[in-house]
Structure 1
Amino acid sequence: MSADAREAPDNPYVEDPATEFDPVEDIDDETAREQAAQLREALRYHDRLYYRDADPVIPDRDYDALLSRLQALESAFDIDTDGSPTQRVGGEPLDEFDTVEHVAPMRSIDSSGDVEDVREFDRRVHDRLGLSRGGSGSDDGEDDGTDSGGSDGQASLTDYDESAPQTTSEVEYFCEPKFDGVSVEVVYEEGRFVRATTRGDGEKGDDISANVRTIRSIPLRLTGDYPGFLAVRGEIFMPREAFQQYNRERVERGDDPFANPRNATAGTVRQLDPSVTAERPLDCFFFDVLDSTYDFETQHGRQDRLPEWGLKTNHRTALVDDIEGAIDYRDDLVADRDDVDYEVDGAVIKVDDLAQCDRLGSTSRAPRWAYAYKLPARTEETILRDVVVQVGRTGRLTPVALLDPVDVAGVTVSRASLHNPDQIRDLGVAVGDKVRIERAGDVIPYVAEVVENNADGHFEFPEHCPVCDSAVEHDGPLAFCTGGLACPAQLRRAIEHYVSRGGLDIEGLGEQKLDQLVETGLVESIPDLYDLDEEDLAELEGWGETSARNLRDELEAAKAPPLDDFLTALGVPEVGPTTARSLARTFGTLDAVMEADEEALREVDDVGETVAHEIREFFGSERNREVIAALREHGVSPQEVAVETGAALDGLTFVFTGSLDGLTRGEAQDLVERYGANATSSVSGNTDYLVAAEGAGQSKLDDADANDVPVLSQAEFEDLLREEYGIDVDGEA
């Protein structure tokens, strides 16, 4: 029965269902199959109410209990699961997506944000149909340039009402939101879900059926008097509220959030592991019929019919008399865009009469009977939807604002820094406020001011770490978790940084595998990495003997890292690769860096008062010293570096390109830096010499030519050092 009519099937699991069941081993096959059929019928009914109508009648815990019982019956009695609600959890991972030809072309539509382009579309429609234009136009098709504003033909943004008086205008338009998601073709045969395909190139796309099966608003079986064959087009999207919650979880884990709901959706439907898709909050609106054994006469007739078959549609549609009504419809969408739970980037305007659509036809790329009137991009001002506190690897707590995506200087921004509790207080910002976003140095987005207060009270900074619940300690305007490496966020991010390309560059430990090692308790500190056992690793899901052995080999090979790489990997606050290299060539050994006082540290290039204090604090921490001592006990011994021997090359800047003979590019850079020179990666007017070895990059050679920079071969470079500055590359006299 249709959920629209609120007619529940005669089924014991629909209203106030009993969730206590006899053990599966105590029932016979016939009883099990009968109960499974009832559970499937009830779960489909509840899915329609929850995901299509947003009007559930049972709590989530009861739904989960019914689903769990169905899974148990299907498993114990080997019941066919084709089309079962249990398939929503996702199946086996895929190796790749198959390419499938569409039932009918999935064309794009022409679009513009200029109102005159929309009126020109209307002129073309009338001309091709051989009709005169009423309303704002003249009989000969010329536009008088005036805007009729709110026309008599404007419809409200509600469901189309079949019983309402209809107009007699020669061309009526059916208007609907243009959703900012991922377009999909879904095919049903005899009411059963057969496949789902991405739009691709419009003629064929990727078969993403395994992922789409997990989206609960897309029925696996149709309801009502459905056609024998149906191919529909829909838009998969991530609801705005769900997107913000999902981003909150990512930020709390230390991951980068998605830039916008569309990116999140596109990445999710193309997962090779359907179980990942099943965990993410996707939804879908259907808006077009590509092919069917059912005949339609109008666009709005299609829209009315789809919900009867269990397909979710959007209610913010309108049938309007003329193009001015369509323009008004779009303007209403602009005004309401912040109040809906999905991203809209335009209004789709379709000729309503399908016979007229057939006469208008299509180009190879787009139909002539449809047009998208784009919404203006949000710029600078947006709604702050949430504030989440992120825990860094040093324990620092940073509040992050999660925003409705907004364009700032050509970049889509969905998060912005709030820096610290003091800034939040000074701004007086709260969830729901409209804020203005700026980018510091055109790079880092931040909340500049509150434009409009829409919430009561202000965000209160937590007194306990949101990850481990340890007390929060304040140091001036900054806040820190006191949990140390006992805090999962700090541990995970410290290890992640240690093995990253910016640290020791240990391959085979991506985000997922690192999470796995921490969650299983195999790694509780950085030194634990060197205790990992090949057999233990090989038994983990997704691992094998080869990957386990490769990781062990990588870890062994990294036991004698360059000193600067090791300093970077430790995650010393304010110490990146450049500062680490300066420390290494100034002090030469790890012990010397660890024992240096602030005065000695301030003598190093790139190290000022603040950085010197951070370095001293880090190596003065007993906990950090214990970690370093444990690493040494596991055989980790950073290489010593020859300290600077003079300033013979002071003031010179070198750039190296190509493969040097007998020394690496890094060793050549260290060499000139020890004698006071600078070594940079790009050629500019400040470069004194470009050393071009075999395989030199052409772009650097071109830059040298443009800036009149002398180009030296390796032999000429060595002669220059030896003859002009008394430096022997081999002996380093």
Structure 2
Amino acid sequence: MMNQNIKNRIDSLRESLNKLNHYYYVLNQPQISDFEYDHMMKELVDLEKANPEFADPNSPTQRVGSDISNDFVQVAHKYPMLSLGNTYNEAEIADFHNRVTKAIGHDVEYVCELKYDGTSISLTYENGTFVRAVTRGDGEKGDDVTANVKTIKSIPLKLQGDFPDSFEIRGEILLPNAEFVKINEKREADGDSPFANPRNAAAGSLKMKKSAEVAQRGLDCFLYYLLGENLPSDIHSENLEKSRSWGFKIPTLYKVCKSLDEINDFISYWDKERHNLPFEIDGIVIKVNNINLQNELGYTAKSPRWAISYKFQAEEAYTKLLSVSYQVGRTGKITPVANLEPVQLAGTTVKRASLHNADIIEQLNLHENDMVYVEKGGEIIPKITKADESARHPMANKIEFISICPECGTELVRPEGEAAHFCPNDKACPPQLKGKVEHFVSRKAVNIDSFGEQVVDLLFEKGLIKDVSGIYDLTYDKLNGLTRVNPDDKNKVIYSFQEKSTQNLLSGIEASKNIPFPNVLFGLGIKHVGATVAKVLCKNFNNIDKLSSASMEELIAIDDIGPKVAESVINYFSDEDNKNLIERLKGTGLQLETEEKTTDSDKFKDLSFVVSGTFTNFSRDELKNLIESHGGKNLSGVSKKTSYLVAGEKTGPSKLEKAEKLNVTIINESDFIELLEK
């Protein structure tokens, strides 16, 4: 019975860790803290070691988690790219030091480095030229993300100085905190979920399909380890400084340590000072400085024996839950917010924490006036991790998620498959109406300067606008002298239109009439139509009338437009109020059309293509542009309407199978060129 219980626990841990690996490395959606994950892994390692009869070659302990994406070509690492063992206390650092000195026979010198919270990368240089960037992947092979990494300005494409003919340099691609905030603001404006932390944002950015979009993300890269057959030095720290002279961004915040005390002092210092850095770190890496000794110490199946990482514990605060309030967003999404007794956490005063949705409140089992533990997820976003049930009053009421909108009283709905609740009253719920206007005038939409939240509140309060079309009815006489006072203090003016502010707003409104059609379409706030989707729609339907009358079949035939987006577009333009709004906007002077693209020829007229795989002479986008420039249409998937499947290397087997089943003509790159030149 005892053995069966042990086996059941091992099986349970393996199943849980495999799922967590998938969420973390493939989906970039961590489900638990690193600390909890490492403890689960350690328990499994110990159980397997003590019970070898339950060994399994496919156990999570026998492999390094993978971040490989099928969207990228996989490349084998010349040198395995393994992960580091994690420690959480000084005793484990001492154990590491003792193992090293026992194996070597004397004390050694270490290098202590910051452990950047990003995504690992390996860069290859030949004759001073950058040739390849590969992700860690499963340690043996990773994704070739060269095109995306080339967009990172801190990574040199050409080196200077006396560098080796061929070498690899490894490091961490990360997202500075300021860029992380900008990206999340944009994602929320586009109707996307914000990233949980900079690490997820960096990993997600690196795996984007279009390098031009990666270039907008503001990624950075620190490099910290040199590999090759002909290195300048046998000392790791000397190689770092030599690499710096070649043009690499090498961290300056490392330290050569000659004793265990010096290592612990370095850890202690950065445990406090990390909050003053412009990027996230989650620990310290300790490496043996002498590369010959590194080689002597060697590797385990998954980690080097000459290096280890110390992981900082997530900072936690203990405070009182004062209340839960509910915010209504532009789309009607209800976001619960925990209002807390102010508490210091990671160098800032925390008063509020997002509870995300009803499921989170239920999982936390929150009650009124609970004492709660608060962490900063990814060191940035405050979150409640648990309630202290031992401190709970026995008569405290459980926090129940609301059933009606706190702003308009409409019964909330929870769409199938959604985690969030929504207020469906998009025609009259005040925050939704105001949110639509704020979205419309935002920088990524029609970009009207001086049209902030206070202005929107004032114009709604005075009845001057009810929707975005009312913006274009505003005049100098209506605005000048308009004032909003604090409802709780009539003597305090919140906002007032003076001569200059009135003229600035009217100038901004006039300038918005020259903003391109895709920006205007994005500004309408159609569900699932972010800035990128708006550009795709405008490219295929060059005016608002064509788009508003598009059928489901026409919409889903467009590459990157799926049924979800198509249904949302059709629903929007089927609504009578939206139809009336579009008619009013037509008279404002806004750009509601684009010039139709001229084609080089019509040889592909009435032909539809699906482009799949990788090609020698063209990128997929170049092939698609050629098809469109000669009158053809690109489809995202194979159907009866497909004329040709242009199949390159690594074409998806399902597309090939479907093309054969439907008797769709399959051509290769040479066939396409021949077709083009006919």
- Whichever of the two has the greater Rg, that structure is 1
Q: Normalising to structure 2: TM-score of the pair? A: 0.47
TM-score (norm 1): 0.44
